[in-house]
């Protein structure tokens, strides 16, 4: 008689049930995707099938692929090829507890009371804080809210000139931001990093706030999607695992709405865990260029420490001006004047 192997999957643990339910509770689209994957029979479901089952406004096949892939990497379900297309399939051990996960995700009170059955109960002496418990609080912020970047306030996105180059190498942008904020030192990139830049020199609303940045250079072709944030689309979860209270994702191009939605979900989760207000924001093409114009001298290779490998030469950002075709004298608005007008005001 053949031996039948049995395995206890950690995915069915109470800890994992709570983890999945908490993430689904922060996003209607993730909830709809999970529910669709675990509906019906065992046949794998493509993005098109999930869209049809969910029937949720603004849930497109592209959004499904962007959100479901990181969920699959966290073992919420399986990602595979089915009839030549990307599809998602149930994990049987999670299917057994799917109803509990979905119920907790839709019931904040039950989710709050849910206690892991594997967490040992202990009697401990604690000091009780009689102050009212802080509610979950998250808020979207922009570069305009950062006191150290106040020089961008009078430069509106609609008034931006075309910059050359349109996109800077990630390393130059990183050291440019660090230089403006006053961070010194070497910021080494490596595969398992939680952020590209971590600064305690950010002031928002009159208060210094630890801030983590995730930056994407020209290697990630626009638009910026969740799948392009980290090898497994897991850069946002790693970003929010730091001790920061404010988080920015930057890319010199359009950024998909799904990226913002994922940041909101993780901000809610972190606020719930820490009892603090969590701030999040995007720095897309226009705001990236506003920074480069107002702080032009910082966004060059001169901001990179001497011991860092150098990137291709980058000059201060200038507006792209087309030379006149007639022999008449050039307009007084020359490239040099545009560059001078866009240079930063010296700060102390």
Chain segment 291-322, per-residue pLDDT in tens: 999 999 999 998 888 765 555 555 556 555 44
d(CA 280, CA 144): 13
What is the model's pLDDT at position 26? 87
Q: Averaging pLDDT over each range in 103-112, 128-137, 292-301, which range is the top one?
A: 292-301
DSSP character string of 52-76: HHH--TT--HHHHHHHHHHHHHTTS
Whether the bond between 3 and the residue before it is cis, its omega within 30 degrees of 0, is no
What is the model's pLDDT at position 334? 45
Segment 234-245 mean pLDDT: 95
What is the model's pLDDT at position 243? 95
CB 203 within 8 A of CB 211: no
Q: How confident is the model at residue 135 (pLDDT cuts 50, 70, 90)?
A: confident
Segment 239-264 mean pLDDT: 95
What is the model's pLDDT at position 53? 94
What is the model's pLDDT at position 311? 54
- Integer-rounded Cα Rg, in Å, for the chain is 24
Q: What residues does 164 pair with on adjacent strands? A: 318
| Chain Cα centroid distance, residue 128 | 36
CB 255 within 8 A of CB 287: no
Q: How confident is the model at residue 128 (pLDDT cuts 50, 70, 90)?
A: low
pTM: 0.58
Q: At what angle do helices 98-105 and 28-37 cross, to 10 degrees?
A: 160
Helices (H) and strands (E) in the chain, counts: 12, 10
Say if strands 137-140 and 277-283 run parallel, antiparallel, or are unpaired: parallel
Alpha helices (H) along the chain: 14-25, 28-37, 47-54, 61-73, 92-95, 98-105, 108-113, 170-181, 235-240, 257-274, 285-294, 335-342
Residue 195 clears pLDDT 80, i.e. is over it: yes
Which tokens belong to 133?
Answer: 């418990």
Segment 332-341 mean pLDDT: 44
d(CA 49, CA 109): 32
Q: How far is CA 317 from CA 164, 168, 300, in A?
A: 6, 10, 9
Q: At what angle do helices 14-25 and 257-274 cross, to 10 degrees?
A: 130
């Amino acid at each position: 008689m053949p031996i039948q192997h049995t395995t206890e999957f950690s995915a069915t643990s109470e800890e994992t049930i709570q983890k999945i339910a908490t993430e689904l509770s922060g996003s209607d689209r993730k909830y709809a995707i999970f529910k669709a994957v675990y509906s019906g029979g065992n046949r794998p479901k493509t993005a098109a099938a999930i869209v049809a089952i969910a029937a949720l406004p603004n849930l497109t096949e592209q959004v499904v692929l962007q959100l479901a892939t990181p969920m699959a990497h966290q073992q919420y379900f399986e990602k595979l090829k089915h009839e030549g297309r990307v599809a998602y399939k149930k994990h049987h051990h999670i299917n057994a507890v799917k109803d509990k996960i979905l119920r907790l995700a839709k019931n904040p009170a039950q989710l709050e009371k849910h206690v892991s059955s594997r967490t040992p109960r202990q009697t401990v002496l604690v000091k009780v804080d009689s102050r009212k418990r802080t509610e979950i609080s998250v808020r979207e912020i922009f570069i305009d809210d950062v006191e150290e970047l106040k020089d961008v306030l009078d430069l509106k996105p609609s008034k931006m000139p075309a910059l050359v180059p349109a996109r800077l190498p990630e390393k130059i942008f990183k050291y440019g931001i660090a230089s403006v904020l006053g961070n010194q030192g070497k910021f080494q990139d490596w595969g398992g990093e939680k952020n590209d830049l971590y600064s305690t020199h950010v002031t928002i609303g009159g208060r210094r706030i630890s801030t983590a940045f995730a930056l994407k250079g020209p290697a990630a072709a626009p638009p910026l999607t969740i799948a392009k944030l980290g090898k497994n689309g897991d850069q946002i979860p790693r970003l929010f695992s730091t001790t920061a209270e404010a988080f920015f994702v930057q890319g010199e191009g359009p950024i998909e709405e799904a990226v913002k939605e994922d940041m909101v979900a993780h901000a809610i989760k972190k606020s719930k865990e820490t009892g603090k207000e969590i701030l999040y924001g995007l720095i897309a093409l226009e705001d990236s260029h506003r920074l480069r114009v107002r702080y032009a001298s910082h966004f060059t290779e001169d901001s990179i420490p001497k011991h860092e490998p150098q990137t291709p030469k980058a000059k201060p950002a200038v507006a792209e001006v087309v030379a006149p075709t007639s022999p008449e004298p050039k307009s007084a608005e020359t490239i040099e004047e545009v560059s001078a007008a866009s240079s930063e005001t010296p700060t102390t």
